[in-house]
Structure 1
Amino acid sequence: MSELSGLFAPEVVAVVGATEREGSVGRAVFENLLADFDGEVLPVNPNVDRVFDRPCYDSVAETGADLAVVVVPAETAVEVVENAGETGIRNVVVITAGFGETGSEGTAREKRLVEAAETYDLNLVGPNSLGVISTPVGLNATFGPTNARPGGISFMSQSGAFVTAVLDWAEDRQVGFNDIVSLGNKAVLDETDFVESWGDDADTDVVLGYLESIEDGVSFVRTAREVTRGTPVVVVKSGRTQAGASAAASHTGAIAGSERAYEAGLRKAGVIRADSVSELFDFGAMLSGQPVPDDGGVAVVTNAGGPGVMATDAVGDSGAELAELTDDSREALAAVLPDSADPYNPVDVIGDAPVERFEDALEVVLADPNVGSAVVIACPSAVLSFEALGETLASMAETREQPLSACLMGGTSTAAAAAALGEVGVPTYFDPARAVRGLAALYEYRAIRDRRYEEPATFDVDREAAREILGRVETTPDNNLGIESMDLLEAYGIPTPDGEVVDSPAAAREVAERLDGDIVMKIVSPDILHKTDVGGVEVGVATADVEDVFESLVTRARTYQPDARVLGVQVQETVDLEAGVETIVGTNRDPQFGPLVLFGLGGVFVEVLEDTTVRVAPVSEPEATGMLDDIDAAPLLRGARGREPVDEDAVVETIQRLSQLVTDFPAIVELDVNPLVATPDGVAAIDLRLTVDPERLPHNP
C-alpha cells in the first residue's frame, strides 16, 4: 500500500464541524460520507449532542479516526489539525477556506498548518479544498452535489469548482473514477505526491490533472518520469502567460518565458499535455479503456466520405500515421465490399452499409499487419442500426488487441451504442477529429513509455577557471558579463574563435598580427546588447586598419550611448558564416523547473523568427539530438539546397556542455551564445552574454 493509503482507504472518518444545519458544508460532507462509505463516520461538534442520530464527539482527539475532515472556521481549523496530529491521526483534509488565498493573516494560519504537518508527519490536503473521493471504499469526503462512479481514472484539480463540474458531466457520460482530489492551496500535499501515489496504485489506469501551477517542478519531473513508464499522466495547464519574458534580459529569457518552461518540464516528465478540458477526458477515456498499440498506423472505416476525409486530416495533424493497407487486405476488402466502395485507407463502405458490412471491413482491416488501431465512423442511414453496430464493435473490441475509437455521428439514436461501447472501454465521439486525437494519445504514450532514458554526460571541464570568471561579476554594477568572458566557454570545452579583448589600438594591432587572415572587431560593452545596431561590429578588417577601426568602434559606442561602459574591443579571427548556419544556444533559470536550455536558429533573426526549442537541464544526448529535430530550420543543418551538412555531433555536444555549465553553477541566471556558428567542421561560439547572481556564486574556503 502507498503512504497515502490512509487518506484514500480509511476505516474511520471524523468530520470536524458536522452538523444538520441546512445549506452548511458540514452537513453536506457528513451526508456524502454516510451515503456510501464502507467504514465508520463520526461527527465532531462540541455544540450538539447528535448529528443524524449519531452521537457527537467534543474533540477529534476522542475519535481514533484514520482521517479527519475539517470544516470548522479557519481560526479553529489550525487547532484541530494540531490536535489531530498530537493524537496520532495522520490524514487530514482541510476543506475550510481563509488561509493563504486571503492575505497576510490567512498566510500566517497556513504556515501553522504546514508546521503542524511537518511536526506530526501529516498527509494534509488543502486548505481551501472541496475534499477527496475514493470509489473503491465508497469515500466521498466532499461537499459536492454529485458522487463519482467507479472507474480507472484518478483525477486531481487545483479548482474545487472544476471538480463539481466534472463529476456532473462524467455522470451523464458514464465516465468512472478511482480517486479524486481537490488540491486546494497545496500547503502540504501537492500534485507530485498524488502522481507518485497513483503510480503505485493498481486500480489507477491513468492520472489526469487540472493544474494552474506546479510548485516544485524539479521534483515533479523526477517523480512523473518514473511513474509514466507504467501509468500515463495527462495534464491540462491553465494560466499560460508570457509575463516572465518581459523582464528577461537575454534572448533566451525572452523566448523561453514561463509557458515554455512548463512545456519543457512536462515533456521531460513524460506527461501528455491536453489543450482543453474535452481533450483531457478524451485522452483519459482512451488511455484507461484501450490497449496501447504495439505498432502500425491508424485505419479509418466509414460509411461517409466527408467525415472519412476529416479523420484522415486529423491523423496527419495529430502526428500519428495513416496505415497503408497491404495488397492482400485490399483484395480482401474488394471481395466483401460493393464495387463502388473504396478498398484503400480510409475505407469507405459507402452510405448503404449495414452493420455486417462494417464488421466484414473491420475484420479485414484489423488483421492487416500495418494497422495498429482503427477509428470507425458511422452516420445515420435507413439500413444501419446504431445499437447493433455498438454491440458488434463492443464484441470485436473484447477479442482484438488493437485499440478502437468510435465516431457515431448522431444524437439520441446513438445512446444505446455508446453505452454498449462504454462498458468495454471504447470511447465514442461525434467529431471525427476528436475520435482520432483520442487514438493519437495512445501513440504518444507509447512513445513516452518506450523512449530511451540516458543519464546526462559529464565532461572533463575546468570548474575552477569557470568559477573565477563568473566571480568577475562581483565588480560589475548590473550582474552582467559579455564577450570579455569568452574564456568561460573555453573552460567548458565549447570552441571559440581565436582572439582577445584589448583596451588600446596598439594592443589590437598586436593581436591581429598573430591571427590569420582578415579580422572581426566588436565593441565590448555590457550596456550595449545589440552591437550591430550601433555599428559596433566590423567584419573583414585588414591588419593595417585595425588601429583605426578600434578608435572608430569606441567613438560610435560613446556617441550612441555616452554613459555606456566600454571595456575595450574584441579582436577575433574570422569565422566563415557563409559556410555554416548561425544558431543560438542559451539558458534561462525558471523558478519552478530550474535551468532551461534553448537551441534554435540564431543570429540577427532569433527574435523575429523565434525558431527555437527548450529542454529542462540537465540535457542528455538523446534530448539534445531531439532539439535539432524540433526546429523548423532543421533542413538547413542537414544540407538543404545543396549545402554541406553541419557537424551535428558538435552541436549536440555543445548543448550538453552548456547544460552541464548551468547545472554546475546555479549562479548563472541567463546566458546566450548567439551566434553559435555550426559548420561541416564543427562549431564556434561567436558572442556571449550572461547574467549572474553574485549571492549564489561558490567561493573557495
Structure 2
Amino acid sequence: MPIHNLDKMFKPASVAVVGASEKSGSIGRALMRNLRAGGFPGEIYPVNLRHREINGIKAYPKVSAIGQAVDLAIIATPITTVASIIRDCGQAGVDCAVIISAGGREIGSKGLEIEARIREEAGASRVRIIGPNCLGVACTEARLNASFAGQMPIAGKLAFVSQSGAMCTAILDLSFKEHIGFSYFVSVGSMLDVDFGDMVNYLGNDPNVSSILLYIESLSDFRNFMSAARAVSLVKPIVALKAGRSPAGARAAASHTGAMVGEDAIYTAAFERCGIMRVQTIEELFDCAEIMAKQPRPTDAGLAIITNAGGPGVMATDALAAYNMEPVPLGDATITRLDALLPPYWSRANPIDIIGDADLERYRGVIEVCLAAKEVSGVLVIMVPQALTHPTAVAEALCETLKGNSKPVYTVWMGGESVEPGRRLFNRMGIPTYDVPERAIRAFMTMYRYARNLKLLQEIPQKLPNEPEYQQNVAQNIIHQAIAHGRRCLTEIESKQLLLAYGIPCTRTEAAKSVDDAARLARDIGFPTVMKIHSPDITHKSDAGGVLLNLSDEAAVRDGFDRIMHNCRAHNPRADLWGVTLQPMIPRPDYELIMGSKMDGQFGPVILFGLGGILTEVLEDKAIALPPLNRLLAHRLIENTGVYALLKGYRNQPAANMVLLEEILVRLAQLVIDFPEIQELDINPLVPLQGDILALDARVVVASSTIPSPLHLVISPYPSQYEQTVVTKSGLEIFVRPIKPEDAPLLSELFDSLSPTSIYYRFFRPLRYLSHDMLARFTQIDYDRDMALVALQRVGDAEKMLGVARIISDPDITKAEFSVLVGDAWQGKGVGATLLEQLVEIGRERGLEFLWGVVLPENTNMLALGRKLGFTIKRVPQSSDFELRINLQQPSQGDREGVT
C-alpha cells in the first residue's frame, strides 16, 4: 500500500478516539488528555457507545456516525471488537488507524486468529494500521500525541520507532533530562500492517527527520526493510538496537557452515550491508540519539582530548585503544599555538593536559586552537572539579565558544552535584555531555564508524578480469535429480560437479565401486592419493572413519578400500555405501579456508568465509555476508577475518591469489542466488596453492523450494533478464543491460565526452565532472526500486558506454521519474529511444502507474522522442519547462499526443 497514506497517520486533520473515556486511569482518558494537551489543532471525535459527551465534547456511538471526514482512528477497546471497528472505519472513509488494544499474537493461537480478522478487514477497506498492542504515535510537527505516554516529546529532528512501548516511555523520559527533541515517536507494536520497512521509507522522505532510531525485536518483511534502509541510510543515519540475540542456530546442521551461522550474526551483517549503525545496549542507543541530535558527524578519527587532570586523559586514551585508535598527533603549528597559551610544563602532546589550575580562558583558548587545527576532526573536553576552577563558569564560557562550530565536541564533566549545573547547561545548549570519558569515547567512535561505513558503502568495485560464465543447466540437473530421488545431501562428486558448473575450481575426484576400480583409478590419478567413502548417508566422513590420506601405492589403495567400507558399515549399518572416491593428495598447506552458504529462514542465503580445516568450529575465525556479492564486497568479507593476515602474505609465506579468491566468492554467491533449493553448502577445506585455489572437499544440502529465484533473497540481485543485443532503427548494434556498480569508470568516460549543452539538458545546470558520490549514486542502485539501463558497444577488448537511461521510483513505487543521457556522437541514432522504450516496458511489468520527467524547452530532441513514444507533453505551471508523462496502465497512444 502507498506510504503516502501515512501522512494521515501522523499529520491528520481530524482524529476519532474509539474507546474515549472519562474514567480515571483508563487508556481512553489518557488518549483524550494527550491529544488536547499536545495542542492538536484538528477536530477530535470521541467514540463510545455508552456516552453522549466526553470531556465536554460530543461523543458518537461509532465512527461512521460522526458524519464528517476522519483521517485517523485511535482504537483502545477490547481487541475482540477491533475487526468490526476497522470495518466501520473503512465504510466511513478513514485512511489510518492506531490500534492500542492488546491481546493479539502475544496470547497465542486465539490472538493470532483475532489479528487475522483485523488484517482481513483492513485489507478490504485499505485502512493502514499501526499496532495492535502499541503505545501509540506522536508527531511534534503536527502537535499530535496519539499515545498514552505521559508527555509530548520535545520538538526536534530525531525519529524513534520501537517495537516495545516500554522502550518508548524510557527513551522519552530520558529525552527530557538530556533535552533531546524528536519529530516522530512511534510504537509499532505487533506490526500487523505498518512495519519497520514502511516507517524507514516514510521517515527517510520527511525533511523534518535528520536521523532514525530503531528498537527492533523482530522484522516482518525483510526485503522491504533492507531496500528501505539501503536507500535511506545514504542520506540519514539509522541506528538500531536489536534485542533478543540468540545463540548460534542450526546445531544439527549437515555442514560446518550451517553450524557456524547464527541469527544474531546475520542481523549484524544485514545492518552493515544496508548502512545501519548497530548498538548493543539502551545506553548506547540513547547516546547515539544525543549525538545525532546535537552534533555533526566526524569526518575522520582525529580526536583531540583536552583535560585538566592527567588520569581522565589516560582513561580516554585507553578507551580509544580498545578500538585500535590513538589520539590524533598534534601538528607543529598546533603545538606552537598551544605553547603560547599553556604553562611551559604542559604535556606538549595529545591528550592535552592543560593543568589543574586551568581557568575558563585557558579552556576557551585551547578549544579554539584545536577546532582550528587541520588534523583535528573532533574534540573531547574533560573537566574534573578543582579548587581554582568553577565547572559551571567553564561550561557557560564553552557554550558561547562552541556556537556555530562545524566539528563535533563532547564534554565530560566528572563528579556529582558540583558539576551537575554545567551538565544541564550543556544539555540546554545542544552539547553532548557524559559523566565518564569511556562513554564519550564510545559515542565518538560510534559516529566515526558510521561515517566510515557510509564511505565504504559508496566505494566503487573493480571488475573481475573476465566476466564470469555459468553452466546453469548443468547445476540445475544435479540439484533436481537429487531432489527427485528423495536425497537431501549431494555426494562429494555431485557437490564438486555443482561447483565446477559455476567455475569454482575443485580437485579431480573419481568414484570407484570396487577395490579393482579403486586401484585402476589411483594409478590414473597418480600417487599419493586420498580415498573417501562415497555414500549419500554419511555426510561427515572423518567421523565415520571414511577418509584415508597419503595412500602411496596400489597395495595401500586396496587395503584402504576394505578398511573404509568396514569402518563405515560399523558407523552406520543402514548407510547406502556406493564405494569410494579418489583424488590426488595435495601437499599439506600452511593453512586452510572454509567457504559456504546457509539458507536462513528470514534473510535467505548467507555467505560464510573464514579459517577452515578440522579446527573450523573450534577457532571460529569467520565472517558472513549477504548475496549478491561483487569484488569489493567479497574483499571486505575476507578482510573481516583473522586469516586475512595470512592471505596477504606473512613472513616467508607468499600472498594468496586474492583476485581469484574474490572471484570464487562472487561465483558462490551467484550459485545460491540462482538456486533457492540449496539449503547448505560447505567447501572445507579450500586451499591456496601456488597461485591457485582448490576446493578439496565439498558438501551440499538441497530441498525443494516453493519460492523462485530471486525472491528468496533480501537484496535484489543484478536482473540479467533485461540483457539483450539490439539493432536500432539506424542500424547501430548495441548491447543493452542494467547498470552495475562496476560501470562507474564507463559512466565517467561518457560524461567526459558530453558537450556543455548535453550536460545542461540532463542536469539542468553546468557540471564539470561527476563526483565520486554522484558516480556511486548513479551506479549502485536498488533494482527493486529503480532501474538504469546502459547501451554498450564493444571496442576491441573494452566496452564503451554510449548512453544511459533510468527510472527512479517514488517511495510508494507507484510512479517513477525518468531521465535519458546519450553521448553527443550517438545522438539521433536510436540509442535513447531504445533505452527509454525498454524502461517503459519494465515500468509496465512492475505495475507502475506512470513515468514522468521534466524537459527543458530547448531540448527539442527529447521532446520529439517523448511525443514519438506516446508521452503527453504539458508545460510545468509557472515555468517554461515541459513535463513528459506516460500512463503505464493504458496502451501507448503513439503520435496522437501533442504539446498542450
TM-score bucket (shorter structure)? over 0.9
Q: Say whether residues 1:339 and 2:344 are aligned partners.
A: yes
> For 2:597, which of 555, 572, 587 is the aligned residue?
587
> For 1:552, which of 518, 543, 563 is the aligned residue?
563
Alignment of 1:320-469 (within 5 A): 321-451=326-456, 452=458, 459-469=468-478
- 1:573 aligned residue: 584
Aligned partner of 1:211: which letter? I
Q: Say whether residues 1:229 and 2:203 are aligned partners.
A: no
SS of residue matched to 2:250: helix
- 1:627-678 CA-to-partner distances (Å, cap 9, x unmatched) read 1111122212122231111111111111111111111111111111111112
> Do the aligned residues in 2 keep the contact of 1:94 with 1:124 (CA within 8 Å)?
yes
In structure 2, C-alpha distance between the alignment counterparts of 1:346 and 1:495, rounded to whole Å: 53
CA shift in 2, pair 1:11/1:252, >3 Å: same
In structure 2, C-alpha distance between the alignment counterparts of 1:661 and 1:541, rounded to whole Å: 34
CA shift in 2, pair 1:676/1:283, >3 Å: same
- 1:521 aligned residue: 531
User: Any gaps of 5 or more consecutive residues in structure 1?
Assistant: none
> Do the aligned residues in 1 keep the contact of 2:246 with 2:264 (CA within 8 Å)?
yes
In structure 1, C-alpha distance between the alignment counterparts of 2:397 and 2:611, rounded to whole Å: 52
Give, in angstroms, the shift of residue 573 of structure 1.
1.8
Q: Say whether residues 1:174 and 2:176 are aligned partners.
A: no
Q: Say whether residues 1:57 and 2:68 are aligned partners.
A: no
Give, in angstroms, the shift of residue 476 of structure 1.
5.3
- 1:618 aligned residue: 628
In structure 1, C-alpha distance between the alignment counterparts of 2:650 and 2:42, rounded to whole Å: 68
Give, in angstroms, the shift of residue 165 of structure 1.
2.0
Give, in angstroms, the shift of residue 230 of structure 1.
0.7
> Do the aligned residues in 1 keep the contact of 2:16 with 2:45 (CA within 8 Å)?
yes
CA shift in 2, pair 1:516/1:697, >3 Å: farther
- 2:295 aligned residue: 290
Give, in angstroms, the shift of residue 306 of structure 1.
1.3
Give, in angstroms, the shift of residue 201 of structure 1.
1.3
SS of residue matched to 2:418: helix
> For 1:101, which of 90, 106, 119 is the aligned residue?
106
Q: Say whether residues 1:252 and 2:274 are aligned partners.
A: no
- 1:10-45 CA-to-partner distances (Å, cap 9, x unmatched) read 111110110111111111111111112122211111
RMSD, matched Cα: 2.0
CA shift in 2, pair 1:24/1:319, >3 Å: farther
> For 1:597, which of 581, 604, 607 is the aligned residue?
607
- 2:618 aligned residue: 608
> For 1:9, which of 8, 11, 20 is the aligned residue?
11
> Do the aligned residues in 2 keep the contact of 1:2 with 1:200 (CA within 8 Å)?
no
Higher helix share: 1
Divergent runs of 4+, >4 A: 453-458, 475-478, 695-699
Give, in angstroms, the shift of residue 518 of structure 1.
2.0
Q: Say whether residues 1:683 and 2:693 are aligned partners.
A: yes
SS of residue matched to 1:640: coil
Give, in angstroms, the shift of residue 239 of structure 1.
0.6
Aligned partner of 2:75: which letter? V
Alignment of 1:148-187 (within 5 A): 148-187=153-192
Give, in angstroms, the shift of residue 553 of structure 1.
1.6
Identity of aligned residues (%): 37
Aligned partner of 1:467: which letter? Q
Q: Say whether residues 1:281 and 2:283 are aligned partners.
A: no
- 2:665 aligned residue: 655
- 2:27 aligned residue: 25
Aligned partner of 1:41: which letter? I
> For 1:495, which of 468, 493, 505 is the aligned residue?
505
In structure 2, C-alpha distance between the alignment counterparts of 1:500 and 1:476, rounded to whole Å: 22
In structure 1, C-alpha distance between the alignment counterparts of 2:698 and 2:306, rounded to whole Å: 56
In structure 1, C-alpha distance between the alignment counterparts of 2:187 and 2:552, rounded to whole Å: 69
- 1:532 aligned residue: 542
Give, in angstroms, the shift of residue 59 of structure 1.
1.6
> For 2:492, which of 483, 488, 499 is the aligned residue?
483
> Do the aligned residues in 2 keep the contact of 1:467 with 1:698 (CA within 8 Å)?
no
Alignment of 1:659-674 (within 5 A): 659-674=669-684
- 2:135 aligned residue: 130
In structure 1, C-alpha distance between the alignment counterparts of 2:118 and 2:348, rounded to whole Å: 65
> Do the aligned residues in 2 keep the contact of 1:479 with 1:692 (CA within 8 Å)?
yes
In structure 2, C-alpha distance between the alignment counterparts of 1:311 and 1:125, rounded to whole Å: 43
Aligned partner of 1:7: which letter? M
> Do the aligned residues in 1 keep the contact of 2:248 with 2:259 (CA within 8 Å)?
no
CA shift in 2, pair 1:517/1:243, >3 Å: closer
- 1:562 aligned residue: 573
> For 1:80, which of 81, 85, 110 is the aligned residue?
85
Give, in angstroms, the shift of residue 91 of structure 1.
1.1
In structure 2, C-alpha distance between the alignment counterparts of 1:86 and 1:679, rounded to whole Å: 71
In structure 2, C-alpha distance between the alignment counterparts of 1:674 and 1:365, rounded to whole Å: 52
Aligned partner of 1:24: which letter? S
In structure 1, C-alpha distance between the alignment counterparts of 2:331 and 2:206, rounded to whole Å: 41
> For 1:90, which of 95, 99, 108 is the aligned residue?
95
Aligned partner of 1:39: which letter? G
> Do the aligned residues in 2 keep the contact of 1:499 with 1:511 (CA within 8 Å)?
no
> Do the aligned residues in 1 keep the contact of 2:385 with 2:419 (CA within 8 Å)?
no
> Do the aligned residues in 2 keep the contact of 1:676 with 1:683 (CA within 8 Å)?
yes
| Paired residue total | 698
Shifted more, 495-504 versus 24-33: the winner is 495-504
- 1:434-466 CA-to-partner distances (Å, cap 9, x unmatched) read 111111122122123322266898731011111
In structure 2, C-alpha distance between the alignment counterparts of 1:614 and 1:243, rounded to whole Å: 13
CA shift in 2, pair 1:308/1:590, >3 Å: same
SS of residue matched to 2:110: helix
> Do the aligned residues in 1 keep the contact of 2:530 with 2:583 (CA within 8 Å)?
yes
Aligned partner of 2:20: which letter? A
Aligned partner of 1:434: which letter? R
> Do the aligned residues in 2 keep the contact of 1:454 with 1:621 (CA within 8 Å)?
no
In structure 1, C-alpha distance between the alignment counterparts of 2:401 and 2:652, rounded to whole Å: 52
Aligned partner of 1:173: which letter? E
> For 1:262, which of 260, 267, 273 is the aligned residue?
267
In structure 2, C-alpha distance between the alignment counterparts of 1:679 and 1:368, rounded to whole Å: 49
In structure 1, C-alpha distance between the alignment counterparts of 2:403 and 2:217, rounded to whole Å: 38
Aligned partner of 2:585: which letter? T
In structure 2, C-alpha distance between the alignment counterparts of 1:626 and 1:362, rounded to whole Å: 37
Give, in angstroms, the shift of residue 576 of structure 1.
2.5
